[in-house]
């Protein structure tokens, strides 16, 4: 069985003092649960300035990652933050293609380049895919996520690590969660597409994201097809985030 991966995406939250406190609460909560069973992995993706402040210590297994990556290496690239620098600040993975960035104009080709940049600099790319409500209503869900996936698998060598998060756009930050059945259907299609592309779909972690909360986490994470959760809003409260970690352990 694949291990469960719980990733907290803080987005542009919270203010400095609260973020430092929240991180401490999560570290203490994980320390109290250590060691996490069955290889449950927990990651936090804070806004970049926090990376310099947050020190998980040695006693908990908590990874930190980035919400985005620049294509640039060190150099005269004003405003960019590249993978080498993220690695130096302890990042082990980065999101690529989050829908909030796709809405800002990032297309499949740029997302694929970012996945390659992540891999080149030693970060695991966690590719976000997902359909809009309109696309779901039009019956295009599988075609959309397969297209988003194919852009990246066409650019990244088959043997390189790739994690995927299925995040239906209509479920992000809305309080509407996809049902386990809806998620499983998409995850299976993604695994088949990975297999067809020469990757091992059954060895690829595929997470679900979109209004994951303590009260729906167990039903989603109870499925062997759902390898974890990408959690936005509920990752901003230690108790709710840790309750989702507990649901992964169950
Ligand atoms: P949400 O966000 O849990 O607040 O819906 C998920 C995400 O955007 O990754």
Residues 49 and 23: beta-carbon distance below 8 Å: no
233 lines ligand 1 (CB under 6 A): yes
Which residue lies with its CA nearest to atom 9 of ligand 1? Answer: 232
Confidence of residue 249 (pLDDT cuts 50, 70, 90): confident
- Summarize pLDDT for 24-81 with one digit per residue, the tens: 999 999 999 888 766 799 999 999 999 998 877 766 789 999 999 999 999 999 999 9
**Is 225 designated active site?**
no
Structure tokens that stand for 240 in this block? 């709710």
Active site annotation includes 167: yes
Instruction: Please state the rounded mean pLDDT for residues 195-221.
Output: 96
Atom of ligand 1 nearest to the CA of 9: 9
CA of 75 to the centre of ligand 1 (A): 33
**Ligand 1, atom 6: nearest CA belongs to which residue?**
232
Burial class, 187, CB count within 10 angstroms (exposed 0-12 / middle 13-18 / buried 19+): buried
pLDDT, one tens digit per residue, over 108-161 is 999 999 999 999 999 999 999 999 999 999 999 999 999 999 999 999 999 999
| Rounded CA separation 54/66 (Å) | 13
The whole-model pTM stands at 0.97
């Amino acid at each position: 069985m694949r291990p469960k991966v719980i990733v907290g995406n803080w987005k542009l939250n919270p203010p400095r003092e609260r973020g430092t406190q929240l991180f401490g609460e999560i570290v203490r909560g994980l320390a109290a649960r250590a060691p996490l069973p069955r290889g449950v992995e927990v990651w936090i993706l804070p806004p970049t300035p926090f990376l310099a402040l947050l020190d998980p210590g040695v006693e908990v297994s908590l990874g930190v990652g980035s919400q985005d990556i620049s294509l640039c290496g060190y150099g005269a690239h004003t405003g960019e933050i590249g993978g080498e620098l993220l690695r130096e600040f302890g990042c082990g993975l980065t999101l690529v293609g989050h829908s909030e960035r796709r809405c800002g104009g990032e297309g499949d080709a740029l997302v694929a380049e970012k996945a390659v940049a992540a891999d080149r600099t030693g970060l695991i790319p966690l590719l976000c895919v997902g359909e809009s409500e309109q696309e779901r209503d039009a019956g295009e869900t599988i075609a959309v996520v397969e297209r988003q996936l194919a852009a990246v698998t066409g650019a990244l060598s088959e043997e390189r690590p790739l994690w995927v998060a299925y995040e239906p756009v209509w479920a992000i930050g809305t309080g509407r969660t996809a049902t386990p059945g809806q998620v499983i259907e998409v995850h299976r299609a993604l695994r088949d597409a990975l297999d067809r592309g020469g990757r091992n779909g059954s060895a690829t972690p595929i997470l679900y994201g979109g209004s994951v909360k303590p009260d729906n986490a167990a039903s989603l994470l109870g499925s062997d097809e759902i390898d974890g959760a990408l959690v936005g809003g509920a990752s901003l409260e230690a108790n709710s985030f840790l309750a989702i970690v507990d649901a992964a352990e169950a």
